[in-house]
């Protein structure tokens, strides 16, 4: 069965790898990509749309099968909690609604380790609220990915994340047993895990993939 994918956040660390994987995969005949700026990527299966996420939509006749949400920012980049909420909560929810309206049966989203509405940390609170909001959309299949620190080359430099990446590489060899789930993970691994999950069938309505489980995918 040939499928159509809808991807949001294709210029980010995970999204760029995921888009490349989807374009090369035999399972997908078309990849619709919502981006804020052109990626420069060209492919016969790619339908890239540079849009304002406040007004994202599909054409009335368009149908999609799987929705991949790779949207995300940081408080520092967003500058305000309101902007952060819009990117990390409102847009993913709206994307889910659009996908479902156009026939999607799977929604795959990047959340975060420690996501919980009751978390004392704002970032984790937002991610937890997002997870609950997506569950309320009642997708036949919802997959939530909770990676730990993401490794890989980003288009923008993030000093804090770069320092964390260096430290995580140093301590990785001793993070075994229960600590294994806190190991850093590459953006490419997360992207591949999302792809593998999307093309496999599962009877679970909601599946949460913790970081160490994503690495196994």
Residue ranges of alpha helices (H) inside 106-183 are 122-135, 159-171
Residue 216, by phi and psi: left (phi above 0), alpha (psi -120 to 50) or beta? alpha
Which residues are the active-site residues?
123, 127
Report whether 11 contacts 70 (CB < 8 A): no
Q: What are phi and psi of 44, to 5 degrees?
A: -65, -25
Q: Which two tokens stand for residue 188?
A: 């490419």
In terms of Cβ atoms closer than 10 Å to its own Cβ (0-12, 13-18, 19+), residue 110 is buried
Q: Up-side HSE of residue 54: CA atoms within 13 Å toward CB?
A: 1
């Amino acid at each position: 069965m040939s499928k159509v994918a809808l991807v949001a956040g294709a210029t980010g660390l995970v999204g760029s790898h995921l888009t490349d994987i989807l374009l090369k995969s035999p399972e997908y005949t078309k990849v619709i990509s919502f981006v804020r700026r052109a990626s420069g990527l060209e492919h016969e299966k790619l339908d890239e749309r540079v849009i304002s996420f406040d007004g994202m939509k599909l054409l009335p006749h368009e149908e999609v099968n799987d929705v991949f949400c790779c949207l995300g920012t940081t408080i520092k980049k967003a500058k305000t909690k309101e902007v952060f909420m819009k990117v990390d909560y409102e847009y993913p929810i709206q994307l889910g609604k659009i996908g479902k309206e156009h026939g999607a049966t799977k929604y795959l989203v990047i959340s975060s380790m420690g996501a919980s509405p009751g978390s004392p940390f704002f970032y984790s609170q937002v991610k937890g609220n997002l997870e609950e909001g997506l569950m309320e959309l009642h997708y036949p299949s919802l997959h939530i990915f909770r990676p730990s620190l993401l490794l890989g080359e980003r288009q923008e430099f993030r000093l804090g994340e770069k320092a964390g990446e260096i430290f995580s590489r140093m301590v990785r060899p001793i993070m075994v047993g229960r600590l294994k789930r806190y190991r850093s993970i590459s953006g490419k691994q997360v992207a591949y895990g999302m792809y593998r999950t999307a093309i496999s069938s599962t009877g679970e309505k909601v599946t949460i993939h913790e970081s160490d489980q994503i690495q196994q995918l």
